[in-house]
Structure 1
Amino acid sequence: MLENRLHDLQKICRMISSISHMDVRLINQEGAALLQLVKQNLPAALQNFEQDFRQINQILEEHPAHSYYYYINSFGLQYMAAGIWEENHYVGAIMVGPFLSSVPGTDFVSEMISANQLPISERRQLQEFYASLSIVNNSTSNSIGELLVNLCSNSFIEAQLITTDPVQSNQSKESIKTMIDESKEMIELRYHTEQELMHAIMTGDKETVEKLKINIGDTYLEDRIPESPIRSSKNLISVLNTICRMAARKGGVHPVYLHEISDKFAILIERAPNLPYLNKLVEVMLHDYCDLVREFSTRQYSELIKKAVDYIRMNIDSPITLQSIADSIHANPSHLSRKFKQETGQSVTDFINLKRVESAKLYLQSGQKSITEVAFMVGFNDVNYFSRVFKKVTSMTPSQFMKEVNKED
């Protein structure tokens, strides 16, 4: 029966998606998605659509037709949904989300990873994804729910657009020529600034980025289209996001990390409500790309060691040995071991342990898990060995580290 209203429901979904700037899905009673207007793809580790759809359908079908459902899944992702009814029979739902009700901090991401036993190697991608979600307060989420109920309960009405007559331009040839000359100057300035910026991000040079910030703001937040200054700036800052991504790639950052951060800022740019917000967003974006290069760049290494380092980072919570790395990147273990020590200054084992301890510190800081649980989460099979490695790296035992963190709080 849902097929009878499918055309109207698709229009309603597109309208909600356009207004809310969030994902909108139309699902039938069996939990199949008939329409998915998705602006951002969920990381594979968070995809739980079958269970989400089943839960939403079950709750809405058990309640009156004028109900809407505020649903939060095990990953902390929040949705608003309303049922579609035909002749007192439940036939499906429209759901909006995911979104969050508060800004996700490091502890939030750690808690989600811990509670759902997600791979620690996905931490960076998950942080970028959660940071890209809309923050929706209680009043707004309720308004979305009420809007869904009213739209789902009534027939769709085709609206008639009324516009003003086109206004004839009264620009002179002189003024047009002046605008063209100014545009050329701006293009040249932008090109020069972009070259300097790309080199700064490629090397993670925040100091140079700070010096360039004024020129960047003037170039990418200019009011060149009086009728739509925000749209103009969004278009330019989207270009800046691409430039930053390309620079970070040249700086030796693996595409996996670039994909998540680039998607995050693409979404935040599009959702920006005003120019001051965009101005702040540019600053955050430049710094985040620099931090990414500083943390994940393998530019200084040979191709062999780049592959080895990337493999370790992406499998840090799994058993890793010199042999498993060598097998994965098709290298001789002895040659790999010598080259790794030569280029990084550390043995493969010491490098792995360092990265595991860095991850462990984040979980110990949150205080949500015991030392034993954290040890297993970051890839250690022996708690005593974990404690010895932790002390070697930090000069403190895990217990001492937790006490120091609590003192600071």
Structure 2
Amino acid sequence: METSTIISTTIKLHYITDLNSYVLDEKGSYLYSQELVQLPMFIEETRDAAFGTLSKMRGDQVYILHNEWDLQFFGYALHYNGMKFCILLGPFYEKAPDFFKVSREYHLTRTESEELRNVAKKISILTGEKIKSFTSVLQQFRSLMDETVPVAIDYTINHERNVSQSSNEEINQHDLVELRYKIEKDFLRAVEMGNKKQALQLINSNNLLFSFAERFPNQPIRRLKNNLIVLNTLLRTAARRGQVASILVHRISEDYALKIEKVDRLGKLYQIEDQMIGDYCDLVHSHSLKQYSIIIQKVIEHVTSYYDQQLNIENLAVQNDVNVSHLSRKFKQETGYTITGFQQMLRINQAKFLLETENLTIEEISWMVGYDDPSYFTRVFKKETGMTPTQFRK
């Protein structure tokens, strides 16, 4: 009983703070976890270290735990009915981190650095006042426990319903489900083919696909967010079936997952729906690998995933059981690029995106896309675009 009360109280705090929430017992076993932000594996141990620190702390006191990644957690150790429990809320930042400094200091690969940056966008930055407020709430944990009461639900069923009416409703429900699956199949096929016009027509002309009004009837924003999360998953699957490189699908999926959670207006959420469908279709249309041979598909997947790292064309040839000259000739024949030229194109395109969307120095962007020498990066960028990175940004 005490465990369920502690978990129920932690759930309250989760909704108050919008932070990841965890409960552990005295043996360090997870009793409950609710994560809005999934930490990368290479820094996940910092959360476990925070638990280890908290388990040694005095009970009935709030702690703010820091780690070397500038992540912070609220901690509360609780003695209850002869047992010890640890409650952890976080991570959060007190100020925006310097990713370039962190990446260099901990020798992160460029892929790890990008993963950290993407995750950090989802981590809350709390002001001093908000930290004090959350600390005050956590200090009231025992009081909140006392106020947590079971919710009684009436499952009474009216047994006097007309039998023929029930049968008709079941038939209608069956037809509705069949129609939903038919629309879903046609919709996913349109996305898989990169047919934006057809995909938008299907989703707009038939509200049956995702208009489950019976779910969260009094929470329209939560209902629409849930529907968009489902839609994002379906679109991601369709894009992979359309043979788009997995790293590109992952990036757009993560981007929209963040957007969905941040928006709190219905009108904006409906806009996201159309934008998301359009962007996935455009991605398939411009990046599908269907027109390439199996060998070249594998090479493009590899280069796209590791565009920021040094290429070893000899290893690529060995992995695909061909010689280097044959692989290079075939790649050029099918794509119009040399393998290194294709990699350079990916790097420059990513640099353009970062220049347009991020407030990063040229040195940081140069390093993130795979160039250790910012001057060399500037020369390559100007050769490819006709402008220096600074001119492009302006």
Q: Residue 67 of structure 1 contacts residue 83 of structure 1 at CA under 8 Å; is this kept in 2? A: yes
* SS at structure 1 position matched to 2:90: strand
Q: Residue 75 of structure 1 contacts residue 112 of structure 1 at CA under 8 Å; is this kept in 2? A: no
Corresponding position: 1:43 with 2:35: no
Aligned equivalents of 2:246 and 2:392: distance in 1? 36
Q: CA deviation at 1:357?
A: 1.6
Which residue of structure 2 lines up, in the alignment, with residue 189 of structure 1? 179
Aligned equivalents of 1:269 and 1:370: distance in 2? 30
Corresponding position: 1:96 with 2:89: yes
- TM-score for both structures, normalised by structure 2: 0.72
Map 1:7-156 onto structure 2 (within 5 A).
9=6, 12-13=9-10, 16-17=13-14, 22-26=19-23, 34-35=30-31, 37-39=33-35, 41-49=38-46, 53=50, 57=54, 67=62, 69=64, 79=73, 81-84=74-77, 93-98=86-91, 112=99, 115-117=102-104, 118-121=108-111, 129=119, 144-151=134-141
> Cα distance 1:154–1:18, how it changes in 2: closer, same or farther (>3 A)?
closer
Q: CA deviation at 1:379?
A: 2.3
* SS at structure 1 position matched to 2:370: coil
> Cα distance 1:294–1:29, how it changes in 2: closer, same or farther (>3 A)?
farther
Aligned equivalents of 1:270 and 1:370: distance in 2? 31
> Cα distance 1:221–1:113, how it changes in 2: closer, same or farther (>3 A)?
farther
1:381-407, CA deviations, whole angstroms, 9 ceiling, x for partnerless residues?
5555433322221122xxx3313423x
Which residue of structure 1 lines up, in the alignment, with residue 341 of structure 2? 350
Q: Residue 82 of structure 1 contacts residue 93 of structure 1 at CA under 8 Å; is this kept in 2? A: yes
Which residue of structure 2 lines up, in the alignment, with residue 290 of structure 1? 281
Gaps of 5+ in 2: none
> Cα distance 1:335–1:386, how it changes in 2: closer, same or farther (>3 A)?
same
Which residue of structure 2 lines up, in the alignment, with residue 199 of structure 1? 189
> Cα distance 1:190–1:270, how it changes in 2: closer, same or farther (>3 A)?
farther
Aligned equivalents of 2:41 and 2:209: distance in 1? 37
* SS at structure 2 position matched to 1:96: strand
1:39-60, CA deviations, whole angstroms, 9 ceiling, x for partnerless residues?
45322354351686189759x9
Which residue of structure 1 lines up, in the alignment, with residue 211 of structure 2? 221
* SS at structure 1 position matched to 2:337: coil
Which residue of structure 1 lines up, in the alignment, with residue 305 of structure 2? 314
Which residue of structure 1 lines up, in the alignment, with residue 380 of structure 2? 389
Aligned equivalents of 1:377 and 1:220: distance in 2? 39
Gaps of 5+ in 1: 103-107
Moved more, 334-343 or 125-134: 125-134
Q: Residue 180 of structure 2 contacts residue 208 of structure 2 at CA under 8 Å; is this kept in 1? A: no
Map 1:313-332 onto structure 2 (within 5 A).
313-332=304-323
1:345-376, CA deviations, whole angstroms, 9 ceiling, x for partnerless residues?
111111111112223334555453244x5434
Corresponding position: 1:368 with 2:338: no
Q: Residue 190 of structure 1 contacts residue 219 of structure 1 at CA under 8 Å; is this kept in 2? A: yes
* Partner AA of 2:187 in structure 1: L
Equivalent residue for 1:246, pick from 217, 237, 251: 237
Aligned equivalents of 2:209 and 2:132: distance in 1? 39
Q: Residue 382 of structure 2 contacts residue 389 of structure 2 at CA under 8 Å; is this kept in 1? A: no
1:19-50, CA deviations, whole angstroms, 9 ceiling, x for partnerless residues?
767532246899x6655614453223543516
- TM-score for both structures, normalised by structure 1: 0.70
Map 1:154-169 onto structure 2 (within 5 A).
159-164=149-154, 166-168=156-158
Aligned length: 384
* Partner AA of 2:203 in structure 1: K
Report the identity percentage: 26
Aligned equivalents of 1:314 and 1:305: distance in 2? 14
Q: CA deviation at 1:242?
A: 4.0
Which residue of structure 2 lines up, in the alignment, with residue 304 of structure 1? 295
> Cα distance 1:281–1:379, how it changes in 2: closer, same or farther (>3 A)?
closer
Aligned equivalents of 1:6 and 1:187: distance in 2? 40
Which residue of structure 2 lines up, in the alignment, with residue 105 of structure 1? none
Aligned equivalents of 2:336 and 2:178: distance in 1? 43
Which residue of structure 2 lines up, in the alignment, with residue 403 of structure 1? 391
Aligned equivalents of 2:214 and 2:51: distance in 1? 49
Q: CA deviation at 1:184?
A: 4.2
